[in-house]
Amino acid sequence: MLNIVIFGAPGAGKGTQSDLLVERYNLNHISTGDLLRKEIAAQSELGKRIKSIMDSGNLVSDDIVVAMIDQAIATDTQGLLFDGFPRNVSQAETLDKLLEKHGRKLTCVVSLDVPRDELVRRMLERAKVSGRSDDNEVTIMNRLKEYEAKTKPVADFYEKKGLHVKVNGTGDIKAISQSVIAEIDKRK
């Protein structure tokens, strides 16, 4: 069974590429951002706490997202595509343990490589139509800062394990998808 992480900075196109990967491999798409937004929409106490953190552009606490991932792995029968998780090295270590607990292993981690000025341009463009309260200039800059400080080291963590593969994330969406699929097919 495939267990893939789609990795990259905010604005790198993880969501877009995830949709195409789900179509190609019939995977269960686990986006922690989407799961957190669902919790906010449900207006639970937890949702209210999550919203203020998300609106600042900071990462929410590991406990909250790890519980969501644990549940997703435990109930999956299709193969998993993790999008937006892991977001720091501690989450990556936890993912290893959770997969192992369920007798699974990561297939690979595919990074979408996009220059910073292009990330900013894309996110400001998306902000005009997304309706997401964290798609504004101040929050975007903090999300990129969080990515640089906490998330980027995750790529090195997987590089050392020989699981990391980098794909050019600029240009035609279909062409990017073909590169991503070619890398996954080499490792599955």
43: phi > 0 → left, psi -120 to 50 → alpha, else beta; which? left
122 is catalytic: no
126 is catalytic: yes
**Other residues' Cβ atoms within 10 Å of the Cβ of residue 2:** 19
Q: For residues 64 and 178, which CB has a smaller minimum distance to ligand AMP in the complex?
A: 64
- For the chain, how many residues are written? 188
Considering the candidates 24, 132, 152, 166, report the single residue annotated as catalytic: 132
**Other residues' Cβ atoms within 10 Å of the Cβ of residue 118:** 14
60 binding ligand AMP? (CB under 6 A):
yes
Considering the candidates 49, 104, 126, 152, report the single residue annotated as catalytic: 126
Give the nearest distance from C-beta 185 to ligand AMP in angstroms.
26
Among 17, 18, 32, 107, contact with ligand AMP (rule: CB under 6 A): 32
143 is catalytic: yes
Name the helix (H) or strand (E) containing 2: none
Q: For residues 19 and 178, which CB has a smaller minimum distance to ligand AMP in the complex?
A: 19
Tell me the C-alpha distance between 52 and 40, whole Å: 10
Whose CA is closest to 90, among 154, 156, 147? Answer: 154
The residues assigned a catalytic role are: 14, 87, 126, 132, 143
Q: What residues make contact with ligand AMP under the rule CB under 6 A?
A: 10, 32-33, 36, 53-54, 57-60, 65, 84-85, 87, 91, 134, 143
